[in-house]
Structure formats: C-alpha cells, structure tokens
Chain A
Amino acid sequence: MTVDSGSASRLVEAPEDASDFFDFAYENGWSDGLPVIPPTAARVDSFVEYVGRDADEVVAQLAPSGGEATIRNIATNAVMAGCRPEYLPVVIAAVQAVAVPSFDLHSIQVDVNASTVLVVVNGPIRDSIGMNYGGDALGGSNRANATIGRALRLTLRNVGEARPPFSDVAIHGQPGKISMCLAEDEAGNPWEPWHVERGFDASESVVTVAGVTGTQNIITGVHPRDGMLALIGDSITTLGSNGVLLGTWAHGGPVVSFSRGLARLFAKDGMSKQDVQQGIYECCQKPKAQMPPTMRPSRMDQVIQHDDAVWGVREPSQINIVIAGYDSPNHVCLMPNYGVSSIISKQIDIPS
C-alpha cells in the first residue's frame, strides 16, 4: 500500500488496525512521530459537516510547497491530530493566520532556527471547547490545547510539505513543533485580554499566532516588583537570541505569559499592562561592549542599538503579555520571538 506523493486529498486504502495504521501513516510521512487517528471518510466528513463549509474551499496556500489548504485537508489533519469536530474552526483560523505573508511562514516552516508557531486562543470559544488557560496550559494535560496545536503542525507538514530533512532544515527543532497552544485566562486578567488589545471585541473568538523559538522559565517569585521586571527584561535581551541578533528585522516580539497571580500583584500596585511593558522595556538593554565582534560589521545593523546599549525589543508594545497558568506569581514563561515574523490575529468563524 503506498500513497502517491503530491496526490490529491483523496481516499486511499490503509490498514484498519490502529497500530498498523500508525505504521502506515508514519511510513508515508503523515505523522509527527506520534500515533494518529485514521482520517476515515466518516470522521473527516463529520468535521466538515460541523463547520458547514464547502470541503473544497481553499482557505490558504502554505509554504514551502504552495500547497492549498482546504477545509477537507485541514479537517483530515485535525482528525489525525485527535481533535474533536468543534475544535476545527480554531484550526482553520490558525491556518489562515499563519498564511498571512507578514507572518513569514516561508521562513518559519523551513528554517535552521528552532522556530515554531505559538497559538493563543481568546474569546468565548475557549470555554465552549474546554481549553486550558490554568496550570500547565502549555503542557500535556488538555485535549483541546494539545490537539489544536498539533492539527496546525500536521497541516503545515502535510499540506505545506515542510518535512525534515530536506524541506525543514531545523538544526535541532523543538518540542513546540509537535504542538504549542494555550488559551488566555481572561477572567483572571486584570487588564485587557490580548485580543482586545489587538483590536477585537471581547465577545469575539480569536486565534493569534506568533513565531517563537521555545519557552524559557523565569523565576520571579523571590524578587520585588522592579526586580521581576528586570529579570524578564534581561531574559528577553539574551545576547545570542534571535530577538537581539535580528532585532531591527523583528515585526512581532516576545510573548511573555504571566499567571493571573502575578498580573494581579502588579495591578494591585496600580500598574497597567502598559506600565508593566514599559518597566520591562527599560530593562531590555545590555552594554554594547558585551557583544562579541561580528565577522561582518554590517551584521550589527540588525541589532537594535542606542544609548551605548543593545536592546531586546524596539519599543514597549513589542512585549506581548498574555495571562495563563496557575495562580502563583512565582514564574513567568517567556516565549522568545523567532525574529522577523509578525504576530497575526484572526477571528474564528464559529458555525451557527
């Protein structure tokens, strides 16, 4: 049994046994290395029926192959990832978001960097599909978070055809290339939810995608408020990071996840989200003298420099604060930016 490469999203014969099907899917390059659910016609059709859209509707073209993402092939990948039908609208919106040119999927899909896509979900759909914005929001405990992120990655792999070793040349890759998705804790957020900050109405369900290079834990709990901000700013300004070395190219910026407990500490002190961004920004600098020399002087043009310092971000608004996690204020999760990629938000079309 073989699958014709570049074949249509058409029906093919495959083993019925779950373990044999996994072998079949893996051998044909469909899987990320983890087991997948067989995308039978009945399963895929039920997903398409749920969203009530034409199965052949093309919603995006995905780099590097320029493959057309249709409702059907996104649904197929969502089934394989383990999604429920009601997650599909989120996955479709995420696929559309990553295909926006300024997201630079062209680079993120194929790059040597450990780049991947962070998916953040806001609005009422978070609760209606049971997403996790509490403890372990990015970890392995919630079906919606895990499988929505995975469905996007499988779609990028199978439709965009970014596959190692030839069309995805990541030197190390990272676990977030399997799945990286969370929802924002809007009820616990003392400030505006992220999607509202980005121009949407609070009642809208929105998916936001960001190109990131992983996660970095920052222990904030044992420091005074200004010390917390200093540690976050220092971490953003790690000299070898993409955020610093490609700083002038960056359109997006790092995503910094505060727990509701930490956000409320700052809010209790009368600080707005903008105040916190400003406080972090002021610590996003390191003496220029700490930078090692470059082989080509013009490469320093890519580093944000002023006041005899190199900077991790261009301006405070590039520090994207998202609320998620346990109540405890002890830790912050920094998701450093990949570099050039813009952060893109897309309203989720929820079937009536």
Chain B
Amino acid sequence: MATTVVYNPGAESSTSAQTFDVVAGALAGKTVSLLDNGWSSYLVAGPLLKEILTERFGAEVVEYHKDMTSPLNEEDLTRVREDSALVITWLGNCGGCTSWSVHDGTELVKAGVPSVSFVTESFVPLAGIVARGKGVANMPLGVLPADFEQMDAAEQRAAVTVSFEQVILKLRITEPEAATVGISA
C-alpha cells in the first residue's frame, strides 16, 4: 500500500495528571462537607450520608448547595478547603454536572483535601477523563446505578449505603474509638 505522511490532529500536550494519596482516616470531631448540585436524589442521599457520617463516624456535616453547571463559588471553595477533612460532591448524572462536580472534587484533592465524587455508572468514564484533564489521575468516585435518579427512596438509600461502603474502603475512613463517641466500656 502506498503511504504518505500526515500530521496527527490531536493535542501536542495536555495537562499531565498526577496520582494523589487520597486518605480521609478518622473523621470524629472533624468537618465533612457535602456539595449538593441540585439533583433530586440529594433529598434522600443528603440526610442518609449525614446520618452515617455523624452517627457512625462522629463527624460534623456541613452542606453546600450549588447549581449543576458551574463550579463551587470561590468563597465556598475556600471555606470547604480550609474546614473539611472530607468532601463529598453530589452528583454526576449528566455531562455538565459530572464535569463540574468532578472539577470541584479535583480542585480539593489537588489542595490536599480528601474528596470523593458520586457519579452514576454511565458517567464513570467521563468522570475519569475530566479528572485527568484537571490533573488528577485517580479521582475517587462513589458509583451508583445508572437509573439511580429514577429509583424510589428505599432503593436509593440501599444504593447509597452500598456505594458509600466502597468509599469508606477506598478513602480508608476509619471508625472512631468507642470513647470518642461517648460509649464507655
């Protein structure tokens, strides 16, 4: 076959992604920030995560609300960065919202704040591409079923519970000592 020489139309270089050690550890007495971007499922997931984080891990939870199609505003980002021992971004369930939710997560991971972005299955590959584009090769994700947003509340609670157990392992979130949560032997 006769050949010719052509230019590759791709980028000559793009953001180089690094691997980060994302470990949350013990959360007792520390602040966990939940970034809600408006998906309806947060009405179920928010209280459930709050319950798990406060009752099981002894954390204090602060909620932030933002829209789906833009990053967290600078003021809140600064506060979250300074105050949080763990940040959970909710929810990547479309292109734009996955992009911006993961964007917020990567900004925090790069700043040394352990973070996890919840996404539904269909958007896991996109979340990885966005994270790498933002310089994070190993953005932790909490994965939920593709039809999560259409599930009833009981199904959503079950799915969040299962997925958050994976997050606990991934981010090495540790249970508090019994004394920390006021239980005496």
Contact = CB atoms under 8 A, between A and B. Distances in A.
B15 interface: yes
B13 A167 contact: no
Contact of B6 (A12, A106, A294): A12
Given A106-B103, A170-B95, A39 B12 contact: no
Contact of A15 (B2, B67, B95, B125): B2
Residue among B8, B10, B132, B133 facing the most chain A CB atoms (10 A cut-off): B10
A73 B95 CA distance: 26
A54 to B, nearest CB: 13
Interface in B1-15: 1-15
B8 A10 contact: yes
A62 B9 CA distance: 14
Nearest to A12: B8
Interface in A315-345: 339-340
Contacts of A339: 69, 96
A11 interface: yes
A38 B4 contact: yes
A76 B69 contact: no
A295 B3 CA distance: 58
Contacts of B14: 6, 61, 65-68, 161
Interface string A35-66: 00011110010000000000010000111111
B47 to A, nearest CB: 14
Interface residues of A, number: 69
Contacts of B126: 64, 110, 166-167, 169
B112 interface: no
Interface string A298-312: 110010000000000
B134 A66 contact: yes
Contact of B12 (A38, A56, A154, A166): A56
Contact of B11 (A69, A113, A298): A69
B180 interface: no
Contacts of A62: 11
Given A107-B99, A167-B126, A68 B4 contact: no
Contacts of A69: 11
Interface string B128-164: 0110111100000000000000000000000000000
Contacts, number: 189
A296 interface: yes
Contacts of A7: 8, 10
Interface string A74-86: 0011001000000
B166 interface: no
Interface of B: 1-15, 38-40, 42-43, 65, 67, 69-70, 94-96, 98-100, 103, 122-123, 125-126, 129-130, 132-135
26 contacts: A3-B8, A6-B11, A6-B14, A7-B10, A8-B10, A15-B2, A16-B1, A30-B9, A39-B6, A41-B5, A61-B15, A65-B14, A67-B14, A68-B11, A68-B12, A68-B14, A73-B10, A80-B9, A106-B100, A107-B95, A107-B100, A110-B98, A110-B99, A110-B126, A113-B96, A340-B69
Q: Which 3 A-B pairs have the closest CB atoms?
A: A67-B11, A107-B96, A111-B95
Interface of A: 1, 3, 5-17, 20-21, 30, 38-41, 44, 56, 61-70, 72-73, 76-77, 80, 104, 106-113, 154-155, 158-159, 161, 165-170, 246, 249, 294-296, 298-299, 302, 339-340
Given A12-B6, A17-B1, A107-B69, 11 more contacts: A9-B10, A11-B5, A12-B8, A15-B2, A15-B3, A73-B9, A76-B7, A107-B99, A110-B130, A112-B96, A167-B126
